[in-house]
Structure 1
Amino acid sequence: MIFPEKKKKKKMKNTIKSVLIISTLLLVLGCSNSDDGGGDGNGEAPKAASLVFPLKDAECNQGEILSDTESKVPFEWNAAEFANKYTVSLTNLETNTTETFDTDKTLLDITLLRGKPYSWKVISKSNSTMQTGTSEVWKLYNAGPGVENYAPFPAELISPKMGLTLNTTNTDLKWRGSDADNDIEEFKVYMDVINPPVKLISTQNRSDVSNVALEANTIYYWQVETTDKHGNSTKSSVFEFKTQ
């Protein structure tokens, strides 16, 4: 026989147990829903954004002219999966200086010098992970007053990579040239044991030099000068590599 007082205590104990189970379930569901919110991708690494504007390797004549030397240019890209913020990395190709701009939007106005070449990329980020995604690198010439023809973009050196050690008696030099006016005339290739290199090893309209002879235990420096049909020219950065 169960006395009323004991029966009452047993009922209360079961009720408390049920409440604790329900509270635990609600807490678990609440945490799960919280993880899905905010567009942070549950800790997934953000994907690379796809760039939209300014157009790749082109003259940019849009935006707001602020003065004879500056204009405000809109930069735009598509939203990246698992990202909720972005960093725009902008490099002045004449001075090789880089600025960064943080935003949670996919459109950002940036003030640029007029008549100057730039490269830019977008780094996708998330509040829930330290991993990032990086877009392609695009180049542009910001339109300047009265400019009819732009100098080529500095060549992008591809191979051998910076700081590479080679165990060979020859190598191929490869680079990528681009020009907003699409009128590249020639490439001059310099390679030397001094920095910057002054020894001209090739003048051509291709973007590679094959079977360049090398000596052992030597540090080499190489650079490409790009010239267009109007005589405008630019020099790439200097890459170095060494041989064993």
Structure 2
Amino acid sequence: MKIVYKYLVLFMVLPLFSCGGGGDDPTPPEPEPEVPAPSAATLIYPDNNEECTEGVLVSETESQVTFEWTASENTDSYTLLLTNLETGAESSSTTANTDIQLMLERGTAYSWAVVSSADGTNETASSTTWRFYNAGAAVENYAPFPAYEPYPEMGKAINAGTINFEWEGADLDGDALSYILYLDTLSPPTSIIGETDTNSFEATIGADTVYYWQVVTVDSAGNSSTSEIFEFRTNP
């Protein structure tokens, strides 16, 4: 009976050693290749600060304009951002091509830019912004483009004290330009703080305040345009 007992114990223990058989760990999956970020497109037409005369006349008030830009690297689609500089209305149109046709109001100033996008990444690249007049009925002299590229920038926080307000201006006819600067703590601003023939104006601002400012551009023929309302705040 002792011999039987010994063999029985050995039979119960052996499987513990023979069934361990752990294999190698599974190979981790290869990481997904990183999608390169797109690069910015270069605008071609309509030309910057020029009159667009190549549109297809649709009616007395509208024409069809073809926007063109260069292809950019690592890009799958393009979004054209269009702004009516007289009303402030904005729109966007997306295409896989490097051109797109849009219906525009005649005799109206616009700005446009192109954003490049790629599948598989959230990164984008923006072109420069161009401005143009869509041709309308013949006029002797065009109004200037509304002031753009402001400083302080929209939503920027700056220190109180004496600052230099700055902006850019352009005129299709090449007329001399002057500017009227409005600054207020309410929107729209109604207080004129100065007039200048340059693209800047010095003023003193208080601390911990939200300011709204706007520029009226006047050309030598008496035509004028009004910028959008810019906003910034000062630190406490």
Q: Report the TM-score, using the length of structure 2 for normalisation.
A: 0.81
Q: Which amino acid aligns with 1:213?
A: T
Q: Which runs of 5+ in 1 are unaligned?
A: 1-27, 36-41
Larger Rg: 2
Distance in 1 (alpha carbons) for counterparts of 2:36 and 2:53: 38
Aligned mates of 1:65, 1:192 — CA distance in 2: 42
- Counterpart among 28, 46, 58 of residue 54 in structure 1: 46
Which residue in 1 is equivalent to 2:89? 97
Matched, 1:63 2:55: yes
Aligned to 1:85: 77
Alignment deviations for residues 78-107 of structure 1 (CA, whole Å, 9 cap, x no partner) = 000111211111111111111111111112
Q: Which residue of 2 aligns with 1:73?
A: 65
Task: List, as ranges, runs of 4+ consecutive aligned residues in structure 1 with deviation greater than 4 Å.
Answer: none
Deviations 1:52-102 (A, max 9, x none): 000001111112111110111111000001112111111111111111111
> Using the alignment, how far apart are the partners of 1:157 and 1:78 within structure 2?
24
Deviations 1:38-64 (A, max 9, x none): xxxx61110000000000011111121
Count matched residues.
205
1:1-244 equivalences in 2 (<5 Å): 43-210=35-202, 212-243=203-234, 244=236
Q: Percent identity?
A: 41
- 46-55 or 125-134, larger mean C-alpha shift: 125-134
1: CA distance, partners of 2:231 / 2:112: 24
In 2, the alpha carbon distance for the partners of 1:194 and 1:82 equals: 45
**What displacement does 1:157 show?**
4.3
Distance 2:149 2:121 in 1: 32
Q: Structure 2 regions of 5+ residues with no counterpart?
A: 1-29
Distance in 2 (alpha carbons) for counterparts of 1:46 and 1:241: 31
TM-superposed deviation, 1:197: 1.7
What RMSD in Å do the two structures reach over aligned CA positions?
1.9
Aligned counterparts of 1:121 and 1:216: Cα–Cα separation in 2:
35
Note if contact 1:46-1:131 (Cα within 8 Å) is conserved in structure 2: yes
Please state how far the C-alpha of 1:166 moved relative to its aligned partner.
2.7
Q: Tell whether the 8 Å contact from 1:184 to 1:226 is kept in structure 2 after alignment.
A: no
**C-alpha deviations, 1:167-212, integer Å up to 9, x for none?**
33211101111122221431111112332222222211100113x1
Whether the aligned pair in 2 keeps the contact of 1:86 and 1:104 (CA below 8 Å) is: yes
Alignment partners' CA distance in 2, 1:58 and 1:151: 12
User: Structure 1 or 2: larger helix share?
Assistant: 1
Q: Is the 8 A contact 1:157 1:236 kept in 2?
A: no
The whole-number CA distance in structure 2 between the counterparts of 1:219 and 1:235 is: 21
